[in-house]
Amino acid sequence: MNLHHIRARRASGEAAAARAPTARDEVVYATGESALGKVLVARSPVGICAILMGDTEDELTADLAARFPNRVLVSSRSRTSDDLGKVLRFINKPSTGLDLQFDMRHGTAFQRKVWEVLRTIPCGATITYAALARRIGQPEAVRAVANACAANAIALGIPCHRVLRSDGTLSGYRWGVEWKRALIKKEAPS
């Protein structure tokens, strides 16, 4: 075998190894039932990369697959039970907080900037899209802020449900306005 063939075989082997899924490519997830409906919690090796809400498990897993098309999805309740338990407790009693490590790498730099500010909005408080745009230093970017909220895959952990229209009314929410209303009501100070 000449040097050209050895290099070609080595490159072919490296390419195959690069395509083979590794633990870094895994997104492990589980679904559960909350007082408000179905919830899916997914974890990458970095942290929670998705908290999705919906009506059916099939809907949630399809949403997860669409958001992470280049990842290996692994359903494992045993590997995500602590995370799922924390999310379900948070839904039932938001004042307990949500102490989880998040993986927000799937967002653009602008989206991550919006999401970081959203994470500073305390439970029971709300903010308008315009105020959120001002807080990130881009007051003209109200529509882009709304789009960043819609792109959020980590419901509750990145609390985009706390964002309202400028007149204080509810607006669209990725998981439905009824979820948004219920979450705000649960978080409201008594």
Q: Which residues are catalytic?
A: 160
In the numeric block, which tokens belong to residue 53? 């809400």
Among 147, 107, 149, smallest CA distance to 127 is for 149
CA distance 174 to 179: 9
Among 17, 24, 27, 57, smallest CA distance to 40 is for 57
In the numeric block, which tokens belong to residue 103? 């993986």
CA distance 44 to 24: 7
163 three-state secondary structure: strand
